[in-house]
Amino acid sequence: MLDEHVAKLIDKKKRFVLPMLVFLFAFYFMLPLSLAFFPDVMNSSSVVFQITWGWLYAFLQIPMTWIVGWLYCRNAKQLDQWIEERKQEVVS
Amino acid sequence: MNLTYFLFFICIILCTLIITYWAAKRSKTANRFYTAAGSLTGLQNGMAIAGDFISAASFLGIVGAIALHGYDGFLYSIGFLVSYLIVLYFIAEPVHHLGKYSLGDVICARFPGTHMRLMMAVGAFLISILYMIPQLVASGLLIRLLLNIDYSISVVIIGSLMTVYVVFGGMLATSWVQIVKTVVLMSGTFLLVLIVFSRFDWNVNALLAAVQDGTPLGEGFFLSGNLFQQPLEMLSLQLALILGTAGLPHILIRLFTVKNTHEVRRSITSATWIIGFFYVMTLVLGLGAIAIVGFEQLVAADSTGNLAAPLLAQAVGGDFLLAFISAIAFTTIVAVVAGLVISATTAFSHDVYHHLIKKGKSTEKEQLTAARWTALGIGFISTLFALRLENMNVTFLVSLTFIVAASSNFPVLLLTIYWKRFNKVGAMTGMISGLIASFVFVVLGPHIMNLDGGWISREPIFQLSNPGIVVIPIGFLGAIIGSYLSPESKQLHVEEKEFFIKAHTGIATRREGA
């Protein structure tokens, strides 16, 4: 009974964490990679406030960190709730 | 040293000593000494994590790097920040579930045994000491530059303060010193940011124009490629930065100081908010330094740019503000080194003394006494080292720390928590190959082998000064190959299962003696 629940929990967690992780690594490493391979594009003015794409992208990493962190917490809260419910079931 | 400086410094020393006195009265058990008995809230712990993490190198170094190199200086800070997501997604909650006081506890929850524990203790000890020595040396040089106090005196003052905090106040005093530091640092930098903006009538374009006039790079200041000409070097650095934090013992043991996983997550997210805002502010300070102080003066004061923030403070606010910023830098240093002392202490007194020498049978009182003596010894020895290393260039040790953490502790933690086929042999080979590879590649690299002032005067054999991109895969490969070459774990299937349940849910299915 417990094993099943835990397996299900890990599965749920995986389904959230893996895509987020692919996104995170792609978003983070695209910055140095794009600076290395497309310096001209990254150093040209972007649409916002006349700053370059390089600056814009670097700045975006900061809200990205906050949002991706917040999403994790939201998901973890749901999982915690799910664990609580299963615990109640097991007890009763 | 004039009276303003003196008052600021006395004020900070007094405040932290009062905290230590208050904490000392409450640190009567081993649990309280090592983890403050899990009494911190998520927000408090987040502030302490930020205080533990933002070293003087971040505060002064990144402002200087931005002032001198523009865009590329800012890239550094991004890696430091994003690395917290790796901690949050992979490491934080399982570490909190599995460990009691140290990372050794976490790994030994799955692979119990004396060798494994010794290995983890050695890893944690090495990383903490390697990180502490350059901080102490840098702080001695910094205080000498700022206040004209002799190098040895400043090292001894900082060394004794950190030792006093940890010996008497344990984790509780360390945490509150770090929290105070975060508050002081954030408000001080915020004040300086406001002053910089007001100088330019709150007009960002005027600031940017002044930056272009101040830097010899001209418009190139805002473009990439001033610091990292080689793409591989940049990629390698970014890799070590993003994975390194998740292996730093002094950050990870902070996760034991809160009571549940909800607070663990709150700790990490509040740390990312604080650190994120902080790096945006250092960007403004870097720009302000080059715009107001100017390139020549920055380089004349210190060629690495480390004095950019203090010089900016002096230029916009005179001696008083300079004294204030110097005091902040001082607080920053003591808070970080205190965090490192307690993590080295835990590795030695909990893992080595309590578990290996006393076989886990020492009493509460013995543990506490051992921890205090260890902290005293570590503080004393590292201060002695720092005194001897005055004229050595040891700043590369800071980046070495991130590489060692990312290539030894991080792979082993990650695979222990998530990989079912992983076994004890793999954990040992992973730790060893990561540690050895980091040292070998740093010794062969341009930090040590350098025609111009290196410890070994010759052409570097290995060209990258940040070997992360080679060393981190070696750590992972060592762990994976070690596991496959040895027979599958003989441990009972049931025990493995219990481990995974505990790691991912915190539910202990069996009562444990330890």
Q: Which amino acid is at B41?
A: T
Helix/strand/coil for B361: coil
In a domain, A13, yes or no: no
pLDDT in tens, B239-288: 998 999 999 999 999 999 999 999 999 999 999 999 999 999 999 999 99
In a domain, A33, yes or no: no
Measure in Å the smallest separation between the Cα of A89 and chain B Cα atoms.
Answer: 15
Q: Do B268 and A68 touch (CB under 8 A)?
A: no
- List of chain B residues whose C-beta atoms are within 8 Å of the C-beta of residue A66: 269, 272-273, 276
In a domain, A75, yes or no: yes
Looking at the partner chain, which of B75, B93, B238 has a beta carbon nearest the beta carbon of A29?
B238
| Chain B residues touching chain A at CB-CB below 8 Å | 71, 74-75, 78, 81-82, 84-85, 88-89, 93, 222-225, 231, 234-235, 238, 242, 261-262, 265-266, 268-269, 272-273, 276, 279-280, 497, 500-501, 504-505, 507, 509
In a domain, A73, yes or no: yes
In a domain, A12, yes or no: no
Instruction: Classify each residue of B258-291 as buried b or exposed e, where b means 16 or more C-beta atoms within 10 Å of its C-beta.
Output: beebebbbbbbbbbbbbbbbbbbbbbbbbbbbbb
In a domain, A35, yes or no: no
Whether residue B227 is predicted with pLDDT greater than 70 in this model: the reply is no
Q: Do A28 and B242 touch (CB under 8 A)?
A: yes
Interface with chain A: mutation pick from B89, B203, B260, highest number of A CBs within 10 Å: B89
Whether the CA torsion B75, B81, B82, B83 is positive or negative: it is: positive
Interface with chain B: mutation pick from A40, A48, A72, highest number of B CBs within 10 Å: A72
Task: Name the one residue in this structure whose structure tokens are 């502790």.
Answer: B409
Q: Do A61 and B234 touch (CB under 8 A)?
A: no
pLDDT in tens, B114-139: 999 999 999 999 999 988 888 888 88
Q: Looking at chain A from residue 19 to 38, which residues have their Cβ under 8 Å from any Cβ of chain B?
A: 20-21, 24, 28-29, 31-33, 35-37
- List of chain A residues whose C-beta atoms are within 8 Å of the C-beta of residue B262: 77, 80
Choice among B61-70, B227-236, B486-495 with the minimum mean pLDDT = B486-495
- List of chain A residues whose C-beta atoms are within 8 Å of the C-beta of residue B75: 31-32, 58
Residue range B161-189: mean pLDDT, rounded: 94
Q: What are phi and psi of B28, to 5 degrees?
A: -95, -10
pLDDT in tens, B315-338: 998 888 988 888 898 899 899 999
Q: For the whole model, what pTM was predicted? A: 0.91
Q: Are B290 and B67 in contact (CB under 8 A)?
A: yes
- The C-alpha atoms of residue B314 and residue B289 are separated, in whole angstroms, by 10
Q: Which amino acid is at A26?
A: A
Whether residue B513 is predicted with pLDDT greater than 60 in this model: the reply is no
**Residue of chain A nearest B70, judged by CA positions:** A55
What the block records as the tokens of B223 is 């473009």
Q: Are B378 and B348 in contact (CB under 8 A)?
A: yes
Q: Do B501 and A43 touch (CB under 8 A)?
A: no
Interface with chain A: mutation pick from B85, B205, B417, B493, highest number of A CBs within 10 Å: B85
Into which CATH architecture does domain B3-395 fall?
A: Up-down Bundle (1.20)
Q: What is the domain count for chain A?
A: 1
- List of chain A residues whose C-beta atoms are within 8 Å of the C-beta of residue B84: 65, 69
pLDDT band, residue A52 (cuts 50/70/90): confident
Beta-carbon neighbour count of residue B398 at 10 Å? 18
Domain locations in chain B?
A: 3-395
Share the mean pLDDT of chain B: 87
Full residue range of the structural domain in which residue A67 is found: 1-6+63-92
In a domain, A70, yes or no: yes
Choice among B192-201, B212-221, B341-350 with the minimum mean pLDDT = B212-221
Name which of B44, B76, B79 is nearest B57 in CA terms: B76
Give pLDDT, residue A80.
Answer: 87
pLDDT in tens, B382-398: 999 989 887 776 667 77
Whether residue B512 is predicted with pLDDT greater than 60 in this model: the reply is no
Residue range B432-453: mean pLDDT, rounded: 84
CA B224, B225, B231 angle in degrees (round to 5)? 115
